[in-house]
């Protein structure tokens, strides 16, 4: 359990390895020529041997978007931010092939067809003693900063909209289900989230103020269920 917990934290830390100033505005701009955005990079688990989730730039129904394909794989496309106030995050996403056998409540089913994640710099003294030790252990073994709190918005095939739960391996990452089921497959769905409100909903049990945002990520994983998903994310924007 400790090893898996550390790998989750270390994978998140890779999202913070490149820092470039950013204000309100587009975070994920897909080039018409098909190139991945230069401010982002693919990150996986430390010393990952399993396949990486694949990311490619596409145009679909008039949207320039990021295609995310997981095939028994793990990976995120990540972008770091300097400490930034938690405002609003908007994007559009679309699922073409869902993960029908995933179950985020279980370690064996902890996969998602698409997720948009936000990294927060929560003060470490807000964590329990055990979780402080986990984070300190991860930071001592990593050359990169390790975020203390991660909110991941997910599209899930089974859990009801509005479901909030901790990752099956670590409470430093918590999920919020925004879309559920298969009724809206193959169509673009727009989202806009109040990051401060969502942080307090998911982490308010340990922190009563909202820390700055220090990174974002989009991704999908199907390594635990050994399955295959296809989804798209576009128009990711940080708004006032």
124 DSSP 8-state letter: G
E runs forming strands in the chain: 25-28, 41-43, 54-60, 63-71, 76-84, 88-97, 112-120, 149-156, 164-166, 173-180, 189-194, 213-221, 228-239
**Token representation of residue 18:** 């490149």
Nearest of 203, 193, 159 to residue 177 by alpha carbon:
159
Task: Give me the tens of pLDDT residue by residue for the chain, a chain 240 residues long.
Answer: 334 444 445 444 443 443 344 556 789 888 767 788 888 989 888 778 999 999 999 999 988 999 999 999 999 999 999 999 999 999 999 999 999 999 999 999 999 999 999 999 999 888 889 888 888 887 776 645 678 999 999 999 999 999 999 999 989 999 999 999 999 999 999 999 999 999 999 999 999 999 999 999 999 999 999 999 999 999 999 999
CATH (one of 3.30.70.420, 3.90.950.10, 3.40.109.10, 2.60.120.430) for 2-239: 2.60.120.430
Asked if 175 contacts 168 with a C-beta cutoff of 8 angstroms, the reply is no
The pTM (predicted TM-score) of the whole model is 0.89
* Euclidean distance between CA atoms 200 and 208, whole angstroms: 7
């Amino acid at each position: 359990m400790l090893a898996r917990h550390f790998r989750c934290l270390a994978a998140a830390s890779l999202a913070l390895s490149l820092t470039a100033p950013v204000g309100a505005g587009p975070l994920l701009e897909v080039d018409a020529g098909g190139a991945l955005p230069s401010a982002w990079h693919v990150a996986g688990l430390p010393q990952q041997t399993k396949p990486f989730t694949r990311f490619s730039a596409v145009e679909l129904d008039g949207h320039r978007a990021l295609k995310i394909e997981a095939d028994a794989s793990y990976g995120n496309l990540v972008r770091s931010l300097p400490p930034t106030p938690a405002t609003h995050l908007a994007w559009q996403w679309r699922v073409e092939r869902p993960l029908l056998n995933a179950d985020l409540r279980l370690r064996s089913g902890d996969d998602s067809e698409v997720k948009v994640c936000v990294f927060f710099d929560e003060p470490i003294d807000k964590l329990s003693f055990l979780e402080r030790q986990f984070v300190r252990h991860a930071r001592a073994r990593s050359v990169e900063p390790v975020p203390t709190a991660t909110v991941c918005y997910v599209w899930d095939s089974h859990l009801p909209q509005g479901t909030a739960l901790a990752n099956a391996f670590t409470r430093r990452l918590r999920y919020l289900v925004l879309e559920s089921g298969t009724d809206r497959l193959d169509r673009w769905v727009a989202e806009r989230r109040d990051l401060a409100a969502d942080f307090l909903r998911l982490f308010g049990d340990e922190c009563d103020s909202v820390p700055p945002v220090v990174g974002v990520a989009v991704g999908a994983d199907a390594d635990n269920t050994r399955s295959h998903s296809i989804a798209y994310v576009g128009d990711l924007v940080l708004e006032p």
